[in-house]
Amino acid sequence: LRGYWWEGRQRRALKSLFGAYVSPERVEEMAKDPERYGMEARNEVLTVMFCDLRNFTSLSETLAPHELRELINLFLSRMSQEIAAHGGTVDKFIGDAIMALFGVPNPDRRTADNAVQAAIGMIQALDLFNEDRRRAGDAVFQIGIGIANGPVIAGTLGSPERMNYTVIGDAVNLASRIEGLTKAYGAEILICGSTSDAMAGPTLRRRVDVVRVKGQETATPLVQVLNRAEPGAALNRSLAAYAEALEAYEAGRFAEAEKGFANVVRLDPVDATAAMMRERCRLLHLHPPADWVGVWKLDSK
């Protein structure tokens, strides 16, 4: 009787803890073996995602509070469905932003692939969401998604009055910083180099820069995930041209790099990342830094 009572208590505690973060199917699966999913903090290697709604401030100024609440709840719900469908866990909502985890509480070796596929699914779901809004004559949404992986501390953290299952660590900070870079680079999905290296699937992507984000000493390659099924001949030419321009940029040959990125824009006029890099190379050519090592340093979040 004591064992039955204790097991029931563990299952109820586990459902209470994870019910708001994990899909009901996964919670039921976890409840079958509650001993496996402890609540104490532990070291884990997983993938972290941040997603942010870009034009939230201007949108909020045009809607009544109850209309804004309903719209944001619908948006967050659709994004969360894609995260859960790819094995992710919504850690928290931060206003109009989402922090999601891949690899906890359910261990998974394909966290990088799952996180990136979830991000692609979120972009596609947003496209459908925006189609409905266009037909109604409403403003459309834009999002930026940043993904990073690495070691973190995962578990129930907080005060005795309020506990929350979450993670802390460099991967969390890096994912947040990368999400913030999506707007500057004109990209919907950016991931760190280690996440790209950990991916086993053939997801189309390109390295766009090497950055050192605020708060970190080591530089990280910045990789853009391209939401396209198959690369055609035109896209292959664009990818090759970008890689050549990036090589010149990292070597400090800024005039050559500027021409290279201009060629990418000529091949793909909607390539906002190449347009931004072209402008950066123009400025660097006019004012070349004395200590250039091919890394773009970011002093702000």
Q: How many CB atoms lie within 10 A of CB 173?
A: 18
Q: What is the pLDDT of residues 118-176, one digit of tens each?
A: 999 999 999 999 998 899 888 888 999 999 999 998 877 777 667 677 889 999 999 99
User: With 50 as the cut, is the pLDDT of residue 4 above it?
Assistant: no
Q: What is the DSSP string of 64-124?
A: -HHHHHHHHHHHHHHHHHHHHHTT-EEEEEETTEEEEEESSSS--TTHHHHHHHHHHHHHH
Q: What is the C-alpha to C-alpha distance for residues 112 and 49, in angstroms, rounded to an integer?
A: 10
| Res. 215: pLDDT tops 60 | yes
**What span, in angstroms and rounded, lies between the C-alpha atoms of 264 and 259?**
9
Confidence of residue 3 (pLDDT cuts 50, 70, 90): low
Write out pLDDT tens, residues 47-97.
999 999 987 777 777 778 888 888 889 999 999 999 999 999 898 898 889
